[in-house]
């Protein structure tokens, strides 16, 4: 497994990427639809998968393929190609374990940077995989912000009861961690915690997986409900449970018993049920996709898990915690965080929440520069500059300056960009930025911005102080 599989329904793009990569010395394979892609992976897992999210004339789209790959070949890194500005796709892809994504249209340099990193991470990952296998999901829940403490308070209240809990919150915010925390602090702590990812189990296999089966050849094969006996069953992404299974689970909750697929006997289990969702279940009910009765049964105690942006204060402690765990489980360097790096992380947008922060720290430690403190240049400060509601995100450099200096630094960069955008034409720049020409000149002078001719074009630059 040393080649790169490129999956795109547009032949030109497939060939372009493949040509670039082959020029760089990589071996590639190509697939134009999901069937070709799955056949190629089943023949031999590639070292890296480059996957277009929209695949015409395919039975599975990119996200479905990603889920399957992450289930069956979790060590294969997947780089997603998405349409321009599609933040939802990025969220879904990160959530499903994609290594990174590139937006169309992309340039060769961007593509190569992402691919080199992914290949390097993949190599280190497989070297570390023996160590990683020993990593157990734990119930350690880190944080100290007010939002976090409020969550912890709510979780504490339900630990000693048997009440069904519904954890809602965005992808990667820590719903499973919260469920494990409840379990670890409850009187079922010694019994199993069984997690069912309702989104990644194929609908046609869901019942067998949950209820088990009985066949003449193989006898009784218990399902996850039986495995969780005495402990907790955690329905992760419960909104993705197929409708047929929803009805059967409802029956189990009402009757407290079920039958294995192909079996005649009734099986009784003692379970606490915790569920999670990142979708609005009431909306799913109104759309006819989720059964109301099941919702009422599962949603006895609703608890909301805040997004990472609602608890930005926790970013430093979480980042430090992930540095520690990466060190302990993978032997990665135990680096400190510079104040500027912390400030930058606190200003970034985190659509993938704590999971995204964890992945970022891991990536920085794998690819990082030496053993000194982590600096802002190692962090993705060019990505995601605006939030969903259109607010502009500050760069770390600005966030660490006093207001006066930050304003000057901003004005200088802003005006430089505008002047160069208008080919050095001050009148057009002035009219765009909404200033008088003479006022703009004065402003530029005070900021030390000068314009000059370079290779026949007018460009703006910051004048070097001459002292």
Ligand X SMILES: Nc1ncnc2c1ncn2[C@@H]1O[C@H](COP(=O)(O)OP(=O)(O)OP(=O)(O)O)[C@@H](O)[C@H]1O
CA angle 399, 403, 409 (to 5 degrees): 70
Sequence-ordered strand ranges (E) for 8-86: 28-31, 48-52, 78-82
Token pair recorded at residue 164: 């069904």
Return the range that interacts with ligand X (CB under 6 A); candidates 223-231, 287-295, 351-359, 370-378: 351-359
Residue 307 CB, nearest distance to ligand X (Å)? 10
Q: Name which of 95 and 291 has its Cβ closer to ligand X.
A: 95
Residue 205 CB, nearest distance to ligand X (Å)? 19
Residue list 134-153, contact with ligand X (CB under 6 A)? 140-143
Q: Using CA atoms, how far apart are residues 71 and 96, in angstroms rounded to an integer?
A: 10
Token pair recorded at residue 433: 């930025």
Q: Name which of 99 and 422 has its Cβ closer to ligand X.
A: 99
Q: Which own/partner contact pairs does 81-84 have at CB distance under 8 Å and 24+ positions apart?
A: 81/8, 81/13, 81/50, 81/51, 81/52, 81/53, 81/106, 82/53, 83/53, 83/54
Whether the CB-CB separation of 262 and 222 falls below 8 Å is answered with no
- When asked if residue 346 is in the footprint of ligand X (CB under 6 A), the reply is no
Binding mask 375-414 for ligand X (x = CB under 6 A): ----------------------------------------
Residue 251 CB, nearest distance to ligand X (Å)? 26
Torsion of CA 250, 241, 206, 267, to 10 degrees: -20
Q: Using CA atoms, how far apart are residues 389 and 213, in angstroms rounded to an integer?
A: 49
C-alpha distances (whole Å) from 238 to each of 225, 359, 385 are: 15, 24, 32
Binding mask 159-178 for ligand X (x = CB under 6 A): ----------x-xxxxxxx-
Q: Name which of 53 and 115 has its Cβ closer to ligand X.
A: 53
* Among the listed residues 28, 34, 168, 276, the single contact to ligand X using CB under 6 A: 276
Short-list 309, 287, 325, CA closest to 145: 309
Residue 399 CB, nearest distance to ligand X (Å)? 23
Residue 180 CB, nearest distance to ligand X (Å)? 8
- When asked if residue 278 is in the footprint of ligand X (CB under 6 A), the reply is yes
Judging by beta carbons within 10 Å of its beta carbon (0-12, 13-18, 19+), is residue 449 exposed, middle or buried?
Answer: buried
- When asked if residue 155 is in the footprint of ligand X (CB under 6 A), the reply is no
Residue 68 CB, nearest distance to ligand X (Å)? 17
Residue 93 CB, nearest distance to ligand X (Å)? 12
Reduce the DSSP state of residue 175 to 3 states and report it. helix
Residue list 76-135, contact with ligand X (CB under 6 A)? 95
Return the range that interacts with ligand X (CB under 6 A); candidates 6-14, 25-33, 288-296, 353-361: 353-361
- The string of DSSP letters for 356-412 reads HHHHHHHHHHHH--SSS-B-GGGS-TTS--B-TT-PBPPPHHHHTS-HHHHHHHHHH
Task: Give the phi and the psi of residue 238 in degrees, each rounded to 5.
Answer: -65, -25
Residue 138 CB, nearest distance to ligand X (Å)? 8
Residue 276 CB, nearest distance to ligand X (Å)? 6
Q: Name which of 236 and 284 has its Cβ closer to ligand X.
A: 236
Binding mask 234-253 for ligand X (x = CB under 6 A): --x-----------------
Count of CB atoms situated within 10 Å of the CB of 274: 29
Token pair recorded at residue 132: 């990683």
* Among the listed residues 91, 319, 354, 440, the single contact to ligand X using CB under 6 A: 354
Residue 299 CB, nearest distance to ligand X (Å)? 17
Residue list 305-334, contact with ligand X (CB under 6 A)? 321
Binding mask 190-229 for ligand X (x = CB under 6 A): ----------------------------------------
| Upper half-sphere CA count for residue 332 (Cβ side, 13 Å) | 27
Q: Using CA atoms, how far apart are residues 67 and 39, in angstroms rounded to an integer?
A: 16
Judging by beta carbons within 10 Å of its beta carbon (0-12, 13-18, 19+), is residue 456 exposed, middle or buried?
Answer: exposed
C-alpha distances (whole Å) from 301 to each of 159, 247, 461 are: 11, 21, 60
Q: Name which of 7 and 315 has its Cβ closer to ligand X.
A: 315
Size of the site for ligand X (CB under 6 A): 20
Q: Name which of 172 and 231 has its Cβ closer to ligand X.
A: 172
Binding site for ligand X (CB under 6 A): 95, 140-143, 169, 171-177, 236, 276, 278, 321, 354-355, 358
């Amino acid at each position: 497994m040393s080649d790169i599989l490129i999956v795109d329904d547009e032949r030109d793009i497939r060939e372009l990427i493949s040509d670039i990569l082959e020029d760089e010395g990589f071996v590639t394979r190509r697939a134009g639809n999901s069937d070709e892609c799955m056949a190629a992976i089943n023949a031999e897992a590639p070292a890296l998968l480059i996957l277009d999210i929209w695949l015409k004339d395919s039975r599975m789209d990119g996200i479905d393929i990603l889920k399957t790959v992450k289930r069956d070949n979790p060590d294969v890194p997947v780089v997603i190609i998405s349409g321009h500005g599609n933040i939802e796709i990025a969220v879904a892809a990160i959530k499903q374990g994609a290594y990174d994504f590139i937006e169309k249209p992309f340039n060769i340099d961007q593509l190569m940077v992402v691919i080199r990193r992914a290949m390097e991470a993949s190599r280190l990952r497989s070297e570390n995989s023996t160590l990683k296998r020993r990593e157990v999901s734990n119930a350690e829940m880190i944080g100290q912000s007010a939002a976090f403490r409020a969550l912890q308070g709510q979780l504490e209240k339900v630990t000693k009861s048997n009440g069904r809990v519904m954890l809602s919150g965005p992808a990667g915010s820590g719903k499973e961690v919260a469920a494990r925390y409840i379990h670890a602090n409850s009187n079922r702590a010694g019994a199993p915690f069984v997690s069912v990812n309702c989104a990644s189990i194929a609908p046609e296999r869901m019942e067998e997986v949950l209820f088990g089966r009985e066949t003449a050849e193989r006898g009784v094969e218990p399902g996850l409900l039986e495995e969780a006996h005495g402990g907790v069953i955690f329905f992760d992404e419960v909104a993705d449970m197929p409708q047929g299974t929803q009805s059967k689970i409802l029956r189990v909750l009402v009757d407290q018993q079920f039958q294995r697929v192909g079996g005649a006997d009734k099986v009784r289990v003692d379970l606490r049920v915790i569920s999670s969702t990142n979708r609005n279940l009431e909306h799913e009910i109104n759309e006819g996709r989720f059964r109301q009765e099941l919702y009422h049964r599962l949603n006895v105690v609703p608890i909301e898990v805040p997004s990472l942006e609602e608890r930005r204060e926790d970013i430093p402690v979480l980042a430090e915690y992930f540095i520690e765990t990466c060190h302990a489980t993978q032997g990665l360097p135990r680096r400190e965080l510079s104040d500027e790096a912390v400030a930058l992380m606190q200003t970034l947008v985190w659509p993938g929440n704590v999971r995204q922060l964890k992945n970022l720290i891991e990536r920085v430690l794998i690819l990082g520069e030496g053993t000194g403190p982590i600096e802002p240049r190692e962090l993705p400060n060019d990505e995601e500059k605006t939030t969903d509601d259109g607010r502009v995100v500050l760069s770390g450099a600005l966030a660490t300056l006093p207001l006066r200096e930050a304003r000057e630094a901003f004005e200088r960069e802003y005006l430089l960009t505008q002047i160069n955008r208008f080919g050095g034409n001050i009148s057009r720049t002035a009219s765009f930025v909404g200033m008088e020409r003479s006022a703009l000149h004065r402003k530029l002078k005070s900021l030390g911005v000068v314009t000059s001719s370079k290779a026949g074009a007018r460009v703006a630059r910051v004048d070097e102080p001459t002292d």
